[in-house]
């Protein structure tokens, strides 16, 4: 058999192997075995130098044609095998859309978040806007300009977190009121929600908690306006039947000042462990803005009056949802959070 016949036989042999190849790996072995540098086609072509020039040209053209045919056959077979592989994979991953879907459990709003949103929306509906400020605060804004002197117990190291640079973690959101009055002249109606920090930790207190404070400043603002606003707020949160009372109190930045109580949400005012038998629960502090605070922010107390109030979001949430331990709000336990699914 001559070289020409050897080449033709080699080509037919390779084509049959390509045709019956079952996967890409087997096809690659065929390519290397016949067309590689050490493949069978190269071995035959090494003998071309022994042939006469005319025959050498003819054999060379035949070898190139066979090589191109094999490369094309390998390409077509590769595409076919890939298509078959894809079809098999799709069959395995086929989804029956008539079957019931997999249950994906939805999340739930945290009671503190839900309470904060609800409170904010109530005051926004009454014309208040939201103001924000930094959590790392200057003593000047947190204490001095709120008429809290250096020897006041609120400045005690046991209550306040002091930083190395002299700043503090704000103990209330009242500094936002100061910053607002420094930037904006009356009329002012803002609420300031946010995180605050105090050195306190027990079933009803946390070293980090959320407060929301309100401020309204304008001409002829009275204590009656304050009582009306808070009555609307508390009845919106706890219901129209909620009993409300104001008790005289003291805050350095308001005068006169008051504590606001509501009828116990646990016992309905009959007296229980939560309200310590009184039938009442302290809910927030409030009062008319002290003239000294107005002077600190360059607002004329002879021309303007105003009121301020502050409350803890966690306390409202605990009363609203009857949570007995504030620490449950910060555990991140999904079993606890699931109880409030759908509340907002």
pLDDT, mean over the chain: 86
How do beta strands 188-197 and 129-130 pair?
parallel
> 98: which DSSP letter?
T
Cα–Cα dist 211/116, whole Å: 9
Distance CA(130)–CA(193), nearest Å, equals 8
Which pLDDT does position 89 carry in this prediction?
82
How many angstroms separate the CA atoms of 103 and 211, rounded?
37
Kind of pairing, strands 280-289 and 254-263?
Answer: antiparallel
pLDDT of the residue at 205: 66
Alpha carbons 244 and 106: distance in angstroms, whole number: 37
- The pLDDT tens digits for 272-325 are 877 788 889 899 999 999 999 999 999 999 999 999 999 999 888 888 888 877
More confident call, 43 vs 79: 79
**Tell me: the pLDDT tens digits for 176-215?**
999 999 999 999 999 999 999 988 766 556 788 899 999 9
3 falls in which pLDDT band (50, 70, 90)? confident
Of 306, 321, 295, nearest in space to 213 by CA: 306
User: Per residue in 285-299, pLDDT tens?
Assistant: 999 999 999 999 999
Note the pLDDT tens digit of each residue in 122-145: 999 999 999 999 999 999 999 999
Q: What is the predicted pLDDT for the residue at 221?
A: 97
Predicted local distance difference test score (pLDDT) of residue 69: 85
* Structure token pair of residue 327: 């620490």
d(CA 181, CA 144): 15
What's the pTM value of the predicted model, to 2 decimals? 0.66
CA angle, 33 then 38 then 44, to 5°? 90
Q: Using pLDDT thresholds of 50, 70 and 90, give the confidence band for residue 49.
A: low
pLDDT at residue number 328: 82
Mean pLDDT for the stretch of residues 47-67: 75
Distance of CA 183 to the CA centre of its chain: 30
Residue pair 231/190 in contact by the 8 Å Cβ criterion: no
Model confidence band, residue 82 (pLDDT cutoffs 50, 70, 90): confident
DSSP-H helix ranges across the chain:
3-20, 24-35, 40-45, 53-92, 111-125, 139-142, 174-183, 223-238, 291-296, 313-321, 334-337
Q: Tell me what percent of the residues of the chain surpass a pLDDT of 70.
A: 94
pLDDT of 231 > 60? The answer is: yes
């Amino acid at each position: 058999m001559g070289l020409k016949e050897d080449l033709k036989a080699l080509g037919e042999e390779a084509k049959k192997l390509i045709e019956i190849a079952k996967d890409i790996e087997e096809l690659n072995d065929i390519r290397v075995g016949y067309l590689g540098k050490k493949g069978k086609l190269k071995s035959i072509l090494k003998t071309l130098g022994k042939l006469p020039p005319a025959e050498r040209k003819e054999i060379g053209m035949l070898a190139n044609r066979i090589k191109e045919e094999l490369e094309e056959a390998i390409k077509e077979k590769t595409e076919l095998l890939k298509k078959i592989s894809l079809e098999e994979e799709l069959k395995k991953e086929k989804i029956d859309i008539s079957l019931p879907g997999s249950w994906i459990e939805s999340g739930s709003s945290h009671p503190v978040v839900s309470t904060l949103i609800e409170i904010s929306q109530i005051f926004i509906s009454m014309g208040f806007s939201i103001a924000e400020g930094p959590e790392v605060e200057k003593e000047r804004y947190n204490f001095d300009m709120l008429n809290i002197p250096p020897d006041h117990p609120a400045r005690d190291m046991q209550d306040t977190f002091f930083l190395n640079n002299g700043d503090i973690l704000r103990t209330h959101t009242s500094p936002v009121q100061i910053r607002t009055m420094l930037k904006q002249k009356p009329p002012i109606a803002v609420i300031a929600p946010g995180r605050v920090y105090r050195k306190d930790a027990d079933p009803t207190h946390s070293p980090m908690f959320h407060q929301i404070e309100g401020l309204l400043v304008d001409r002829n603002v009275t204590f009656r306006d304050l009582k009306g606003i808070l009555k609307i707020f508390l009845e919106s949160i706890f219901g129209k039947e909620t009993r409300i009372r104001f008790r005289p109190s003291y805050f350095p930045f308001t005068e006169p000042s008051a504590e606001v109580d509501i009828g116990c949400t646990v016992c309905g005012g009959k007296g229980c462990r939560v309200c310590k038998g009184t039938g009442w629960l302290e809910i927030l502090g409030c009062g008319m803005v002290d003239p000294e605070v107005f002077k600190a922010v360059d607002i004329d107390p002879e021309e303007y009056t105003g009121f301020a109030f502050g409350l803890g979001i966690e306390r409202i949430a605990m009363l609203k949802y009857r949570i007995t331990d504030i620490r449950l709000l910060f555990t991140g336990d999904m079993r606890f959070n699931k109880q409030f699914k759908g509340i907002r």
